[in-house]
Chains A and B, each alone.
Chain A
Amino acid sequence: MKQQISPSQIRKIILEQAKRANVGHIGSALSVADIITTLYFGVMRVSDPTDPDRDRFILSKGHAALALYAAFFMRDWITAEMLDTYCSDDTLLAVHPERLLPGVDFGTGSLGMGISYAVGAALAARMQNSKRRVFVLISDAECNEGIVWESAMFAAHHQLSNLYVIIDLNGQQALGYIRDVLDTAPMAEKWKAFGWDVKEVDGHSPEKIARTIQSCEQELGSPHVILARTTFGKGVPFMENQIKWHYWPMSAEEYRLALESVEKHP
């Protein structure tokens, strides 16, 4: 594992790779950079991505995969050479995570499916008397999908307290702001009504995210949902809260400015 990992290192890799490959989904990856950093460098018990008793992680909002690949690189699960194949021919690093890449527990890309897999994985851990936990990162817009609520109902009914759903609450979806497209608010009330242990946290504070997850461990009997309030495009001011950065790639000048912003906040 590389030493002293900070979210800004993850952000820098996201920008470098997005620029090199000339692809988008930058804003979504920046939005979850702090959450992913916290999980992979503080919270999850994963000594080795092939250990059957490792904590599981599912990036259900698969389009933020670049943040995940940056974490895998920092964990030394993939090499710099592999990382540089992102979105090139003959790569295992696609826009959405493919299962053959070391570290990917479940391939995703079709929104909503990851939480359903996670429920099964959490149930399996309990049936096998394992202490392993299951973390799944979904987006607020992903809650448009009915399967999220099927999964929520099941997990609460079966009291899967080894399941942690983290919602990247950035208020945006592909073509607009959630409040304009299909509003998912009020989130806390919805999840409470479904029988979940609901926590809210600043999704850009690794310390607070880690503390919140730790505090969940005391709460037995219900699955946990962590509403992580985030800013889409966090760390790059001209991308923040801008719909266009869901899909848009960066120009040379935008890349220079973006790197500058990220490096300013180590």
Chain B
Amino acid sequence: MELAKNDRRILLLTGDLGYLVVEPFVELFPDRFINVGVAEQNMVGIATGLAEAGLIPFVYSIAPFAALRPFEFIRNGPVYHQLPVRIVGVGQGVEYGFNGNSHFGVDDIGVLRTQPGLTIIAPADDIQTKTAIEKTHALAGPVYFRLSKDSFEIPDLSRDFELGQTQHIGTGKDVLLISSGAITREAIRAADLLKEQGFSTTILIIASIAPAPIAELAAALSSFAHVFTLESHYITGGIGSLVAEVVAEHGLDVQVIRLGFDNLLNGPLGSAAFLHDLHGLSAQKIAVRVENVLRKNV
């Protein structure tokens, strides 16, 4: 909103979603808001045409409808033409829990990470969201924001969001837990549980998924024997895959254990907390999984 006040190029497009979210923008900038209707492919196509003329369209929908339905439009439009379309996908992982599989963003990173020049950001909290939008304002190419639908702050982050950088919480020596997005809250509670068991944890946060914080990851990974990645995403293609790529390409001697969804989510449904717990991604279950590995290797 602050940016839009000072930059008349900024537009907001929605695919008929965002009830009680888009209203403040509409009120202040009615001429720069377009509800394109329930047509996400067209929304990204239109945004491509708008951006070619020098405008900065933000397109908004629930993550799978923002990232997957129009994927080929993202690829051939803003990515290929290197245009400043801002794609906002709401609902990290299974946050739309009761809405079911159609509404889960558990593969958006994996799909979009293939696209060269597409900046991908998964903020861990509200402050990172705000900072990330500011820090990417001047980028000439496209950006995907994977936003949480919840509003919260994570205390004690080591520093502000920067493209290509990580943030961390704590400086534990026993295990490295690499997390992305709102599920970092589970990582923090898991670290507390591990501390009670005598294990100290460093939590590393990847909000800037592309450009990836390669150098910082390589440096952090070389200090640990075991690293766990945590994401509300399929284990293929997300930050677990990213970390594994860094380990392999740097020839590092570290075991990577990817925590995420390793199978189709066609079981019972529930809240994000329920689904995370069901699939081993709640603080308690993370702590147990970490502890089992650490004890085995003492």
Contacts and interface: CB of A to CB of B under 8 A. Distances in A.
Given A52-B54, A123-B49, A124-B55, A154 B39 contact: yes
A151 B80 contact: no
Contacts of A123: 34, 46, 49-50
Contact of B72 (A110, A115, A121, A146): A110
Q: Report which residue of B44, B47, B49 has the largest number of chain A beta carbons within 10 angstroms of its beta carbon.
A: B49
Contacts, number: 93
Q: Which of B41, B44, B55 has the most CB of A within 10 A?
A: B41
A200 interface: no
A107 interface: yes
Nearest to B42: A150
A125 B46 CA distance: 12
Contacts of A115: 45
B76 A121 contact: no
Interface string A96-139: 00010000011101100101111111111101100000100000
A147 interface: yes
Contacts of B54: 52, 124, 128
Interface in B50-67: 50-55
B166 interface: no
Contacts of A122: 49
B50 A120 contact: yes
A87 B237 CA distance: 35
A163 to B, nearest CB: 10
B41 A107 contact: no
Given A121-B52, A154-B39, A116 B76 contact: no
13 contacts: A106-B81, A116-B49, A116-B73, A119-B45, A120-B51, A121-B49, A121-B50, A124-B50, A124-B53, A124-B54, A127-B50, A154-B36, A154-B37
